């Protein structure tokens, strides 16, 4: 787990270069619905960053030469495990799709370079079932789907959400 976090930190810092602000409204990358597969990866120019002769990173650059997407194969199976998406030089989306070292598939969304939301697939069905909300870099609310219907039914922290509408009789 510490190795995974270190790799993600290094990849993000390499791709970002100097810190720049992202647009104040979420762009297409940050608004894209989550999926159990990476968004279009592998795409871009393949690179062999660990020197083993096989591609382990795929880089897409914009017309200005700045990195817009970076996919990385962490477990050396030839398929990307992490996707970083940048808009205006700022990280707006990070996807960790494949379970590694006990880490569930996780999709992170950033606004103005700051983490605002994480969605996790803790049961491995390809759909988020745990949602984390962040404000000012702090976790403020966790919502959990315990009955696998795609909607949160347990909330921890933050203001309580209104109860779900009762199911209509059939």
Q: What is the pLDDT of residues 69-99, one digit of tens each?
A: 999 888 888 888 888 999 988 899 998 876 6
The whole-number pLDDT of residue 159 equals 58
Output 110 or 42, whichever has higher pLDDT: 110
pLDDT tens, residue by residue, 24-37: 333 444 444 444 44
At residue 132, the pLDDT reads: 95
Burial category of 72 from C-beta neighbours within 10 Å (exposed 0-12, middle 13-18, buried 19 and up): buried
Phi, psi at residue 118, to the nearest 5°? -130, 140
Whether the per-residue pLDDT at 138 is higher than 90: the answer is yes
pLDDT in tens, 93-131: 998 876 666 678 889 999 988 999 999 998 888 889 999
d(CA 158, CA 82): 30
* Partners of residue 115 on adjacent β-strands: 110
Q: Would you tell me how many other CB atoms lie within 10 Å of the CB of residue 106?
A: 20
Distance from C-alpha of 39 to C-alpha of 45, rounded to nearest angstrom: 16
Q: Among 21-35, 38-52, 122-136, 156-170, whose mean pLDDT is lowest?
A: 21-35
Residues 100, 54: Cα–Cα separation, whole Å? 20
Angle (CA) 20-94-62 rounded to 5° is 50
Question: What domains sit in the chain, N to C, each tagged with a CATH number?
Answer: 2-48+55-156 (3.90.930)
Instruction: Single out the residue of 85, 88, 7, 107 nearest to residue 41, CA to CA.
Output: 85
Q: What are phi and psi of 6, to 5 degrees?
A: -65, -40
For residue 139, pLDDT beyond 90: yes
Structure tokens at 44: 């871009």
């Amino acid at each position: 787990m510490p190795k995974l976090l270190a790799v993600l930190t290094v990849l993000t810092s390499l791709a970002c270069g100097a810190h720049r602000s992202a647009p104040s409204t979420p762009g297409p990358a940050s608004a894209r619905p989550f999926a159990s597969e990476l968004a279009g990866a592998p795409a871009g120019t393949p690179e062999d960053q660990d020197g083993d002769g096989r591609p382990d990173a795929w880089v897409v650059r914009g017309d200005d030469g700045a990195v817009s997407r970076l996919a990385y194969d962490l477990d050396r199976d030839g398929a990307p495990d992490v996707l970083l998406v940048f808009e205006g030089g700022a990280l707006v989306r990070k996807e960790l799709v494949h379970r590694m070292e006990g880490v569930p598939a996780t999709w992170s969304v950033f606004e103005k370079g700051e983490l605002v939301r994480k969605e996790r697939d803790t049961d491995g069905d390809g759909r988020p079932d745990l949602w984390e909300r962040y404000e000012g870099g702090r976790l403020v609310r966790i919502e959990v789907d315990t009955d696998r219907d795609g909607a949160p039914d347990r909330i921890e922290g933050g203001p309580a959400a209104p109860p779900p509408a009762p199911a209509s009789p059939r």
